[in-house]
């Protein structure tokens, strides 16, 4: 007689136990997906400005807009690069900027060295400098090296300002079509 090729009960039981064992190990909690999850949370936490109460790790570079205004306190004492539009020349060493896109924002006071730039109302500019949360005329006079003019600046007392290290006036765009 030839041996039968039908699986025996013993062989079937062993195969079932092996498959069941593999199934149970895949239900464990140490899968690659659960290990990567904390890394994802950590990466999100490192983004500047994402978590309230944490100071940003990168300087702000961007437009003077509502996002900057909302985060301005977080950047206090840090160097920022802000672009905007000159609203008014306030004093020989100061002017205000507004958002080029959002003109509803309160103007930001900027102190600069007038020997380095000559912005005019309406100019689009880029300002590199340190953001300060409270304007105090005597301190500004000492740090700027010029009298900010107390009469002109009384309105801004106690408001935030930007102490500019560099002011760049953008070249006007030629609006005439070229032929």
Specify the pLDDT at position 19: 47
Residue pLDDT tens, the chain, 179 long = 555 555 554 544 444 445 455 454 555 555 444 444 444 433 333 344 444 555 667 889 999 999 999 999 899 999 999 999 999 998 888 899 999 888 789 999 998 988 888 899 999 999 999 999 888 766 666 655 555 565 667 778 888 999 999 999 987 665 555 55
Element (H or E) spanning 65, and its range? none
Residue 48 lies in a domain: no
Give me the DSSP letters along 29-73: S--HHHHHHHHHHHHHHTSTTTSTT---SS--EEESSHHHHHHGG
**Residue written as tokens 């079937």?**
12
What is the extent of the structural domain holding 133?
A: 61-169
| Tokens of residue 40, six digits | 């994802």
Specify the pLDDT at position 68: 93
Contact 161, 110 (CB under 8 A): yes
The tally of CA atoms less than 13 A away on the side-chain side of residue 70 is: 6
Specify the pLDDT at position 79: 95
Residue 163 lies in a domain: yes
Count up the domains in the chain and report the number. Answer: 1
**Residue written as tokens 């304007």?**
135
Specify the pLDDT at position 62: 95
Residue 100 lies in a domain: yes
Specify the pLDDT at position 34: 46
Residue 97 lies in a domain: yes
* CA distances (Å), origin 138, targets 103, 133, 143: 30, 15, 9
Which CATH number does the domain housing residue 165 bear? 2.40.50.140
Residue 144 lies in a domain: yes
């Amino acid at each position: 007689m030839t041996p039968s090729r039908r699986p025996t009960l013993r062989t079937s039981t062993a195969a079932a136990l092996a498959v069941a064992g593999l199934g149970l190990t895949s239900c464990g909690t140490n899968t690659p997906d659960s290990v990567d999850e904390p890394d994802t949370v950590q990466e999100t936490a490192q983004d500047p400005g994402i978590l309230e109460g944490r100071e940003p790790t990168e300087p702000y570079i961007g437009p003077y807009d509502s996002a900057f205004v909302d985060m301005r306190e977080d950047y206090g004492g840090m160097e920022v690069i802000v672009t905007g539009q000159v609203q008014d020349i306030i004093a020989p060493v100061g002017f205000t900027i507004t958002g080029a896109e959002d003109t509803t924002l309160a103007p930001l006071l900027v102190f600069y060295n007038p020997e380095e730039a000559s912005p005019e109302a309406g100019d689009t500019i880029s300002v590199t400098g340190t953001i300060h949360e409270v304007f105090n005329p005597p301190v500004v006079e000492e740090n700027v090296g010029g009298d900010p003019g107390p009469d002109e600046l009384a309105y801004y007392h106690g408001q935030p300002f930007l102490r500019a290290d560099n002011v760049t006036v953008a070249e006007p765009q030629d609006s005439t079509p070229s032929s």
